[in-house]
Structures are given as C-alpha cells and as structure tokens.
Amino acid sequence: MTEALNVGLALVILALALWTVVARDTFAAVVGFVAYGLLLTLVWVQLRGIDVALTEAALGSGLTGALLIRAAARLRKTESAARAERPGVLTRIVALLAAGCVTAALAVAVLALPDPAPTLAPETADNLAATGVGNPITAVLLAFRAMDTMLEAIVVLFALVGVWSLAPDRAWGGRPGPLQRADPDGILAYLARALPPVGLVVGVYIFWIGADLPGGKFQGATILAAMWLLAVMAGLADAPPVSRTWLRLALVGGPVVFIAVGVAGAAYAGAFLAYPDGLAKPLIKVIEWALLPSLAVTLALILAGVPERTST
Amino acid sequence: MTDAATLFGLCAAALVGIGVYALIVNPQPLRKIVAFNVVGNGVFVLFGAIAHRGAGAGWGGDPVPQALLITGLVVAFSATALAVTLLLRLFEEAGSATLAPDAPAPAKPDTSDG
C-alpha cells in the first residue's frame, strides 16, 4: 500500500517537473514548481528526513516559490520576445542525449549502491549524549559539523550583501522593493492581520523544540520571515531602509556570536568551535538564540529585494 | 519489490535529467533558474535516499547527510535569490531579459540562423 503511494508520488513529481519544462507560460511553470516543491516535502517524509521536510516546505518551496512567482510576474512583458528564440532541433536532440546520459549514469549508480550502506548513525548515537541535545540533526548541525553551519549562516548573509550591491546608486541605503499597496479591507490585509500571531507562535515553537525533536532555527526563522513579508505585502508594514544601524547589527549578530563562541572554543577547549565539557548544550543554545533573529531578518530582506526607494 | 530509497533514488536521477534538458533548451533565464533548481532537487533527493539507506541507531536515516541537506537547501535558496535579483536588475537596466548575444533584435538585418 505504502509502496503504491510512493510510486504514485514519484510519478506526480516527475509529471510536475516536466510541466515546469513544457509549460508555455513562465508564470504557470513557476506555480507548477511550487506545487512540486510541496510534494517533495512528502518525499522527505517518506525518506524519514522530517527536519529536511520542514526545511523544504518552508524554504525550498515556500520562500523560493514566492521569489520565483514575483519574478515571473515582473518579467511577464518579456514572454513574447522569449518565445521567438526557440532552440533548434539539433540543440534539442543534444540536450535530450545529455539529459539521458546523466539520468542513466545516476540510475546505474543508485542501483549499484553498496549494501550494507555506509552510515555514521551509530557514531552519532554514541556521541549524542556529549552534546546534551536530543535531536541528532541539531547535534550534527551545531556540534559535529558546526563549521558547516557557521559558513552557511555567512553564505546567507553574503547573498543579502550581493542583493543589496545591485541597488542603483540613487536608491542606495533606501527601502527595498516597491511600495506595497493592498485593499485595506481585502482578504490579503485580513490574512496579514490574522495569520502572524499564529505564525509567530508556530515559528518560535519549531525553533524551540529543535533541540530534541525535528525543527530548528532555519525552519523557525523562515516562518518568522514569511509572517513579516505577509504584513509587508499587505501594506500593513514597510521594509526598513537598509542603511539603519540596528538593522545591520541584527544581520551580523548571529554570525558574530557563532564566530565568538568558536574563538572561545579555540582558547578554552583546544579547537575552533570545540565546546568545553558540560557546556555544550548552553553554548548551542546561545548560538541558536543568536542565529534565529539574524536568519529571520536576513531571509526576509533577501526576499524584499534590492533597495529601490530613497529613504526619507 | 523496491524500497523507498531505490524508488526515490531513481526518481531523483530522472529529475536531474529533466532539469539538465530544461537548462539547455529553455531560452528564458528565469526558466533556467527553475531548471537549475530541479537539478538541485534531484541531487538533494538522491542524497536523501542515500541517507535513508544508512538508517541506524533507531533513526530512519543517517543524521549526518540529513543535516548537510538542510545546509544545502539554505545555500540553494541563497543562490537562487541572488540569481533572480540579478535577472530582475538586468531587466530593469536593459528592458529585456534575454541571454541572446544580439539582444536588441529589431535593428539587426544580419541573421545567422541556427
């Protein structure tokens, strides 16, 4: 029964992926991509990666979807011009061959995977107690592979710096994105008032339980960012000018605390990002609490986009 | 009988193929970004299937690759956001969003078809 459901899920996902290729209208393709992302969440559940499923739903499908839909709406005027530059038959055949070769090579690799599969699960289980957290994913993210997570937080920050650096000179330091106006009695304004209280609780809850159960700062921060963006889209709030000092401090706060804990580890525990015995869990908590607001603000501002309005 | 890891592993291989085809064939940059995300999803699902095969210690999957997947998803989002923003700025500056080298087509009599 589950197997039949899995096969059906795989087929629907492949069909939606094909839809994003063949759909004539880019907007329709992007909407298909969002639906496909939500179904991928179910694949992650089937592969027993609940933490990954939460991230996929919030970031992979949610925020990426919002980004792509807005871009598709803005680029609508270019649709007809783009249809003129269709690739030739030769290009299509070469593309088909390339795609077929890649898929065949990967499929052979999947079928030839070693049995029993190599795993680090027993090692993680053996050392989990030393970190004090119950969720093995959080232990890997913030203790065993903390360097990856630190660099990842910095990559997100760099993405925002990249987005901001595309601002036209006249708008530098101004507010990101166009001014949003929505019908104050419309459904968007209503949802932007009704949903954030629930969303804030859900976001903080997912962050809070992340130490012991599936969840964590990335998923929580994404939900918090989405709630703020909803209020901005409904015209109930406005994005702050990017030159504000408090904003800059909020952005770098998380990564700075992470690096500071890492340097302290080098001084007191013998290695960068090492935690002294017995202090692992409090230090992990400090990093998580510092990263949550920074990530939420960074993700929200990446979505808000390039500064376009001069600050007044 | 096929287990979930093999089934979704093969599904991931097909996703990468679909993405590669779309990346080459679709002329619009936004469609290429979507295609690149489909390739990325394929790679992630394949990695997730491998993590699921490494289940042990009472967990449904190997937590190390699963944690790396979360990192990967966040980085993929960052890269997509930067690419989309670049594209929107290109559109704003140039008035079109094409990658064709002879973009302002109207004033060009020379057409080398391909």
**Which of A184 and A231 is assigned the larger pLDDT?**
A231
Q: How many domains does chain A have?
A: 2
Q: Same structural domain for residues A227 and A308?
A: yes
Q: Does residue A51 sit at the B interface (CB-CB below 8 Å)?
A: yes
Among B74, B88, B92, pick the best mutation site for testing chain A contact (most A Cβ within 10 A): B74
Q: Same structural domain for residues A131 and A279?
A: yes
Residue A108 within any structural domain of the chain = no
Rounded mean pLDDT, A255-274: 88
Q: Which whole-number Å values give the CA distances from B49 to A162, A166, B6, B37, B85, in the listed order?
A: 33, 38, 7, 18, 32
Across the interface, of B2, B48, B81, the residue whose CB is closest to A67 is B81
Q: Answer whether residue A9 shows pLDDT above 60.
A: yes
- Mean pLDDT over each residue of chain A, to the nearest integer: 88
Q: Do B5 and A119 lie within an 8 Å CB cutoff?
A: no
Q: Answer whether residue A77 shows pLDDT above 50.
A: yes
Q: Answer whether residue B64 shows pLDDT above 60.
A: yes
The CA distance from B63 to the nearest CA of chain A, in Å, is 5
pLDDT in tens, A114-156: 888 888 888 888 888 888 888 888 888 888 888 889 999 999 9
The CA distance from B109 to the nearest CA of chain A, in Å, is 16
Its ipTM equals 0.90
Q: Same structural domain for residues A66 and A202?
A: no
Rounded mean pLDDT, A157-177: 88
The CA distance from A201 to the nearest CA of chain B, in Å, is 22
Q: Same structural domain for residues A69 and A208?
A: no
Tell me the two tokens of residue A308: 């376009």
A272 band by pLDDT with thresholds 50, 70 and 90: confident
**Which of B99 and A94 is assigned the larger pLDDT?**
A94
Q: Answer whether residue A219 shows pLDDT above 70.
A: yes
Rounded mean pLDDT, B76-98: 88
Q: Do B100 and A96 lie within an 8 Å CB cutoff?
A: no
Asked which of A86, A107, A132 is the last residue of a domain, the reply is A86
Q: Answer whether residue B103 shows pLDDT above 60.
A: no
Chain A residues whose CB is inside 8 A of the B9 CB are: 110, 113
Q: Answer whether residue A82 shows pLDDT above 90.
A: no
Q: Same structural domain for residues A124 and A223?
A: yes
Residue A96 within any structural domain of the chain = no
Which residue type occupies A218? F
Q: Same structural domain for residues A181 and A280?
A: yes
Q: Same structural domain for residues A174 and A56?
A: no
Chain A residues whose CB is inside 8 A of the B10 CB are: 10, 107, 110-111
Q: Same structural domain for residues A124 and A43?
A: no
Closest Cα to residue A251, out of A156, A165, A186, A179?
A156
Q: Same structural domain for residues A206 and A312?
A: yes
Q: Do B30 and A71 lie within an 8 Å CB cutoff?
A: yes
Residue of chain B with shortest Cα separation from A136: B63
Residue A111 within any structural domain of the chain = no
- Answer whether A69's CB lies under 8 Å from A30's CB: yes
Q: What pLDDT was estimated at residue B2? A: 63
Q: What percentage of chain A carries pLDDT values higher than 70?
A: 99
Q: How far apart are CA A17 and CA B21, in angstroms?
A: 11
The CA distance from A185 to the nearest CA of chain B, in Å, is 31
Q: Same structural domain for residues A245 and A130?
A: yes
Chain A residues whose CB is inside 8 A of the B67 CB are: 51, 137, 140-141, 145, 148
Closest Cα to residue A30, out of A6, A64, A55, A1?
A64
- Answer whether B65's CB lies under 8 Å from A49's CB: no
Q: Does residue B80 sit at the A interface (CB-CB below 8 Å)?
A: yes
Q: Same structural domain for residues A239 and A127?
A: yes
For A140-186, where are the alpha helices, taking DSSP H only? Answer: 146-164
Q: What pLDDT was estimated at residue B1? A: 41
Size of interface A-B (CB pairs under 8 A): 284
Rounded mean pLDDT, A66-83: 85
Which residue type occupies B64? V
The CA distance from B110 to the nearest CA of chain A, in Å, is 15
Q: Do A163 and B25 lie within an 8 Å CB cutoff?
A: no
Identify the CATH assignment for B4-95 out of 3.30.530.20, 1.10.287.3510, 3.90.226.10, 3.40.710.10.
1.10.287.3510
Q: Does residue B46 sit at the A interface (CB-CB below 8 Å)?
A: yes
- Answer whether A36's CB lies under 8 Å from A64's CB: no
Rounded mean pLDDT, A151-178: 89
Q: Does residue A226 sit at the B interface (CB-CB below 8 Å)?
A: no
Chain B residues whose CB is inside 8 A of the A305 CB are: 85, 88
Alpha carbons within 13 angstroms on the beta-carbon side of residue A249 total 3
Query: pTM of this prediction?
Result: 0.89
Q: Same structural domain for residues A167 and A21?
A: no
Q: What pLDDT was estimated at residue B109? A: 44
Q: How far apart are CA B11 and CA B3, in angstroms?
A: 12
Q: Do A67 and B80 lie within an 8 Å CB cutoff?
A: yes
Closest Cα to residue A143, out of A288, A280, A264, A268?
A280
Q: Does residue A89 sit at the B interface (CB-CB below 8 Å)?
A: no
Residue A281 within any structural domain of the chain = yes
Query: Structural domain of residue A68, as residue ranges?
Result: 1-86
